[in-house]
Structure 1
């Protein structure tokens, strides 16, 4: 790949570790004699083999195993796992169960998005190395961010027994349903956070993100009547049609890249993007009015082709999740919860007599903070998992990060070494990668 701008400068930049991302890896950029010889994100950690771990295990316990894939989006993995087992045996959950699962997914999305925006992205925008210096210069903002994150974690505890690795959601429903007092407590927390949400929008109005665009394909769930997180079909900005979750391989084509121990993904192009920006590009019209108001306040318009704006997309989703959570809570406070739907984590002996399991393959697809997540299991008539496949959002974004960097470097080659390094680091951070899920980020090597 040649570019006239590249001949003006040759680079030899080595950043051994990139902070404020989850996991480890390398960015390698090699510009020599005016030629961009190498520009890629290398994932170097060992595979974790969760698909092998669940083989031979009961469908009623695999969600506890797969939730360990990630400490940030463990609820999402748990949810995708449960949906896959239910789909495999043809089990349909109640509308109450669906709504409560949607509420729990909102809580995890809120917790993760606030973490990313305030603690991983904001230091770059304010010119510091981490959130620690901001404790001195922006103490009240840091305290507010910590309060918001703690509140979302606390509500996850209320809903699922604990935030990380939830215990009360399971195949068929919930082992413990929230009480009226629980719902009232969560509503009060959300109401108290509306001011923090407004302040967050005002703060990020002043944050200047890099100006960069690369038009790509965006992949997400979509639903005809709601902004899709828990249910829906798969769509992309290119095909503009829908694919059922079981046919996810018609869109998500995984492949091996020599420079990565994590698989890459593509559809018709060389890459695609998943995550908040993809969801909003595909489903902007399904956002609630409060979220659309935040989009206007932050001057966000679709389609948006700037990957750095993924953080802004996350803040728009924060508003959507807050107000949709309040809607769900109010619904249950008005009509009540049917506690007769509580189930045991494993069917009892009496339940087994009427609980029929037929062998089959099912897919569970949900949207987690970093993008569309797929779990697929084949289950036999003894309710045992025979095979599994997990497609992680970060894996799906890796090829897109590579192509973004290949376009970015020639455009910023006239900047200083420090500026180019920061822009590269910020680009990767914008995707909010969770490398533990994929296999793991980040050392940066610019090789001359």
Structure 2
């Protein structure tokens, strides 16, 4: 190989716009950057001066797929600042709402964005023609996940019932019973999903890195917990800045993060590596069937970890519905709030990884400052590190294979599905490649 320039343009699965630039000269990697040319969205600035009651509704608009995650994390931060402790019922309903969102996002990613690669089609639309049963299963599962979110949050996207310390509307027992029956029936689709991914051959690529996720002593953490690293570190949520350490790079307008190494990974694979012992037995069985074992260092296996979490969330959602029905849905009102100056941090495991919201509230109840760190930003440096390790192994491959490997690597991280509208555009400029 002589000179190779690979340009991956218009990455639509992050907020804003980005490019992957790979330059190889005389068989040696010269440059390997993930350029993010991001248009600022100013959500943190939008929050300044707004009443604390508006924070969760504003920030849920950051992402259409992770709206529940942003709203819940926002409420956590606000409640921490104001000294509000939600009731047990509120916490159970928030978890149930969260499981619906994890299911919704993971099903969308593994079926609509990842599966087409393995069926040799360009998108889900030709897949619907060649394998209609796969797409119909995905739509059936996704519909149930959306209905679960709507039953708790008032609607599928951008929940309206979540509020400080509680809910403005509660689901009826008969609604939960119907959802429980549908979740039980969904087990067959989950099993079929596991069987599907058993039949797929993912790229073999290993690179050691640090994996970071929330962890709790008695459950597979999605809401709250301790920030935990596979390198042996542990921090309270309030110390998140010791983990994220945001920095700016010349080639990207998006901030990068680093902790103990040059980069770290968040998301389903990180959660599995940190919390695998807390998975539901059916999810552990799915992991075993799929060959997923800790410590897994293949980033392409993030999609497999999402399949495992689908199995986990279905079972835990059923458990939560049973608990709520046994205890009965109580007609609780949100607790009264004594407005005061305060500072609070919230953290949740949204589909793509650990999300942090940090608020400062003044004595008048208005927000004086805010900091939000999303999972995609935390993964950018790790994607670049993966690319630097991956590209040298592909130098003797045809251009189409290089393109496919790079696209699949980006997809594996599931970055910001709310902005995903089309495939990555890859071009090779001035390349000479003998076997292309």
- Normalized against structure 1, the TM-score is what? 0.92
Q: Distance in 2 between matches of 1:249 and 1:373?
A: 12
Give the aligned partner of residue 294 of structure 2.
302
Give the aligned partner of residue 41 of structure 1.
34
Q: Distance in 1 between matches of 2:97 and 2:84?
A: 20
Give the aligned partner of residue 145 of structure 1.
138
Q: Give the conservation status (yes or no) of the 8 Å contact 2:226–2:234.
A: yes
Q: Distance in 2 between matches of 1:245 and 1:281?
A: 19
Q: Distance in 1 between matches of 2:120 and 2:375?
A: 29
Q: Distance in 2 between matches of 1:192 and 1:119?
A: 22
Q: Distance in 1 between matches of 2:356 and 2:272?
A: 19
Tell me, what secondary structure is at the counterpart of 1:383? coil
1:99 pairs with one of 87, 92, 96: 92
Q: Distance in 2 between matches of 1:323 and 1:128?
A: 32
Deviates more, 1:318-327 or 1:17-26: 17-26
1:315 paired to 2:297? no
Tell me, what secondary structure is at the counterpart of 1:60? helix
Does the C-alpha gap of structure 1 residues 385 and 269 become closer, same or farther in structure 2, counting only changes over 3 Å? same
Q: Distance in 1 between matches of 2:36 and 2:406?
A: 15
1:228 paired to 2:221? yes
Give the aligned partner of residue 333 of structure 2.
342
1:257 paired to 2:249? yes
Q: Distance in 2 between matches of 1:33 and 1:45?
A: 32
Which structure's relative contact order is higher, taking Cα pairs within 8 Å and 6+ residues apart?
Answer: 1
Alpha-carbon offset, residue 20 of structure 1:
7.0
Q: Give the conservation status (yes or no) of the 8 Å contact 1:21–1:120.
A: no
Tell me, what secondary structure is at the counterpart of 1:332? helix
Does the C-alpha gap of structure 1 residues 294 and 397 become closer, same or farther in structure 2, counting only changes over 3 Å? same
Alpha-carbon offset, residue 12 of structure 1:
3.5
* Structure 2: stretches of 5+ with no match in the other structure: 431-436
- Normalized against structure 2, the TM-score is what? 0.94
Task: Note the 1:230-309 alignment, pairs <5 A.
Answer: 230-238=223-231, 240-309=232-301
* Structure 1: stretches of 5+ with no match in the other structure: 1-7
Deviations 1:325-372 (A, max 9, x none): 000000111121211x233xxx8xxx5xxx323312100100000000
Alpha-carbon offset, residue 315 of structure 1:
0.5
1:360 paired to 2:342? yes
2:117 pairs with one of 120, 124, 148: 124
Q: Distance in 1 between matches of 2:5 and 2:289?
A: 40
1:417 paired to 2:399? yes
Q: Give the conservation status (yes or no) of the 8 Å contact 2:79–2:164.
A: yes
Deviations 1:158-203 (A, max 9, x none): 1111111100011111111111011112101201211111111111
Q: Distance in 1 between matches of 2:405 and 2:351?
A: 22
Give the aligned partner of residue 410 of structure 2.
428
Q: Give the conservation status (yes or no) of the 8 Å contact 1:27–1:446.
A: no
Cα RMSD for the two superposed structures: 1.8
Tell me, what secondary structure is at the counterpart of 1:266? coil
1:393 paired to 2:375? yes
Task: Note the 1:28-67 alignment, pairs <5 A.
Answer: 28-67=21-60
Tell me, what secondary structure is at the counterpart of 1:162? coil
Q: Give the conservation status (yes or no) of the 8 Å contact 1:22–1:435.
A: no
Tell me, what secondary structure is at the counterpart of 1:194? helix
Tell me, what secondary structure is at the counterpart of 1:261? strand
Alpha-carbon offset, residue 18 of structure 1:
5.2
Tell me, what secondary structure is at the counterpart of 2:197? helix
Q: Give the conservation status (yes or no) of the 8 Å contact 2:92–2:324.
A: no
Deviates more, 1:318-327 or 1:30-39: 30-39
Deviations 1:266-305 (A, max 9, x none): 1021110000000000111011101000001111111000
Task: State the 4+ residue runs in structure 1 displaced beyond 6 angstroms.
Answer: 19-22
Does the C-alpha gap of structure 1 residues 337 and 218 become closer, same or farther in structure 2, counting only changes over 3 Å? same
Alpha-carbon offset, residue 60 of structure 1:
0.7
Q: Distance in 1 between matches of 2:369 and 2:175?
A: 38
Deviations 1:3-60 (A, max 9, x none): xxxxx44324445445777753111001113331111111112111100000001111
Matched residues, number? 428
Q: Give the conservation status (yes or no) of the 8 Å contact 1:361–1:379.
A: yes
Q: Give the conservation status (yes or no) of the 8 Å contact 1:21–1:442.
A: no
